[in-house]
Amino acid sequence: MEGAMKDLINLLQELSSCPGPPGGEEPVAAIIRRHLEPSCQIQRDGLGSLIASKQGSRKQPRLMLTAHMDEVGFMLQNITEGGYLRLQPLGGWIASNLPGQRVHINGSKGAVEGIVAAVPPHFKKEQKSELKVEDLLVDVGAASKKEIASLGLQLGDLITPVSHFAIYNKKLLANKAWDDRVGCAVLVAAMKQLSSHPNTVVATATVQEEVGTRGAVTAVEVVKPQAAVVLEGAPADDFPGITKDSPQGAVGKGCQIRLFDPSTIIHRHFWQWVTELAKKNKIAHQLAVRQSGATDARPIHLAQGGIPTVVLAVPVRYAHGHSGLIHLDDFQATLKLTLAILKKLDNKILKSLLPA
């Protein structure tokens, strides 16, 4: 394996293995800061988003390159008399996927592992209503509230899935949190590789995207960009039972260029220009009109009177679960397209994209 590719895989492993649910992104921010501080000016906003600026040959336009640091997780909501833990979801989960899975509760004495309680089929009665996360319990081997306290756990502790990094069939990477640590990895790699560019690029690693794109709301006020590129780990739709038509987020088929989701109609001239740039540079890509979901593009494109914004994504199989899969080729395609945009987008091109 080439050194550069090994470095990228190590970056992907480090970021995806790191715990960082909404409100607890600091370990992720520390990794990104370590990588970008040597070449960028670093600042933080009041909610905790990390902002890294790199000026090129010109100060304008200011381009916001953004990915969110948080992953879906939980907060310790309550403790039963018998020592079980109740969960408050942070982000979107399917409750029926959780029983039997392991989690880390990040307490004052370090991470404590637990199992989401699963009723064995021997005792299972017919389920009359849909299972909710609020109905679930976590077992950490404690028998009382006192034992829970002795483990260093208390209300408000943040909880993340237990998973491990693995490589399948040479190019598929497995781990938790690809939404959006794969976007964070593209952001870090692009900023480290970026040299000659006719603009100022402001890499922005946001917080709390999974609970309502909150970090982007404050970060865009600090960055004040003229255009934005949002990097995501988008749910793949290429496995059985997901779509009856051709997939728009197939793993191994390239960077996904989003045209629409319920929160954002992507700037038409911008995505058309990006698509032509991908074709010109022979970068594998796929177009997506999403019928659900939202990204940090929602608050960004509505800020400051309107900011042209495009969303690029690496497809993720089994997103918002304990383990997902991404393809190295998609990661590289997204990185190449990101760099092509940053190296090309100047004042003249940006002006041509805006309404006359």
Which residues are known catalytic residues?
Answer: 209
- 28 neighbors 181 (Cβ within 8 angstroms): yes
φ, ψ for residue 139 (rounded to 5)?
-105, 115
